[in-house]
Amino acid sequence: MNQFKVSVIIAVYNVEKYLRQCMDSVVNQTLHDIEIICVDDGSTDSSLSILKDYQIKDARVKIYAQQNKGAGAARNLGLQYAAGAYLAFLDADDFFELDMLEKAYAAIRSAQAQIVVFRSDQYREDLGEFVQVNWTIRQDELPPYRPINCRNMNGNVFKVFVGWAWDKLFEKKYIDEHQFWFQEQRTSNDMLFVFSAIAFADRIEVIDEILAHQRRNDPNSLSNTRAKSWDCFYKALIALRNALKEHGNFWEYEQDYINYALHFSLWNLDTIGGDQKEVLYSRLKSEWFETLGICGKKAGYFYNKNEYRKYQTIMKKPMKVYFKSGISKE
């Protein structure tokens, strides 16, 4: 029997500047029957000390520490100790609305769902304001009824929702039965967990309300350090394909997967910084597009004609043509 309604798992690494706002958004949730599992990933600042301050004041806060292995490994460690009926995840520089867990818990229970997805927005650190992001849930690609599953979706199942863990609530029994886990790499470490869970789920509920806030423009954020982990997205795509094949339903999602693989590869190429841009361009062209199943498909196979045109340019032209022509910005 579960000891708590929800386990909230927070991966923490050198976020002393933002950690209190994150923790306040969890300890002050209107749903009280929760445990707060904080995994310190080898922080060298005062993050661990801040966590201990919260633990002294609130017995629901539990701290586990590990050597620096990344957010994926930290979340996996948290999963080992989670005793809640449902699982929520939060990055330590982001924060929840104070009634997020209450609303998500009520929704997932009412729908008898395995996952509930809710909206999020971005808190722009440089602007000091919240910015709407409508693409976190593509409502026009969902049927009018609830709950749903991937077979009911009208668009690419890997783009209807985002591959983040922190804008969702998961049934722990479902996660345990399928042994879903986070890849232990620097970035794109939640794609395998999230998209596998979505693809295999029979019942998904949706809350069309902003309940979580993602902090952006922090130079230390994982999303701004992809040049140091330029190949993680590719490893995540391969792991996802392997999981779908092992589950026996890759054939259902093959076209969606290949279209998403092209989309995500292009996004990484167009937004990555540093010298790794040239390395990534070369690797996509010489090997990865073929390994991902993109090569050999006719134009009509692809949902986005502009992305197909960019792929064709990469395969036929040197990198300077791709970027100087402006096609990378289209």
pLDDT digits over 17-71, tens only? Answer: 999 999 999 999 999 999 999 999 999 999 999 999 999 999 999 999 999 999 9
CATH class of domain segment(s) 4-224: alpha beta
The domains of the chain are located at: 4-224, 228-329
d(CA 167, CA 320): 38
Structural tokens at position 152 = 């009911």
pLDDT tens digit sequence for 124-152: 888 889 999 989 999 999 999 999 999 99
User: 172 with 85: CB under 8 angstroms?
Assistant: yes
Say if CB 117 and CB 103 are below 8 A apart.
Answer: no
pLDDT tens for 219-267 read 444 444 667 789 999 999 999 999 999 999 999 999 999 999 999 999 9
Element (H, E) at 117: strand 115-124
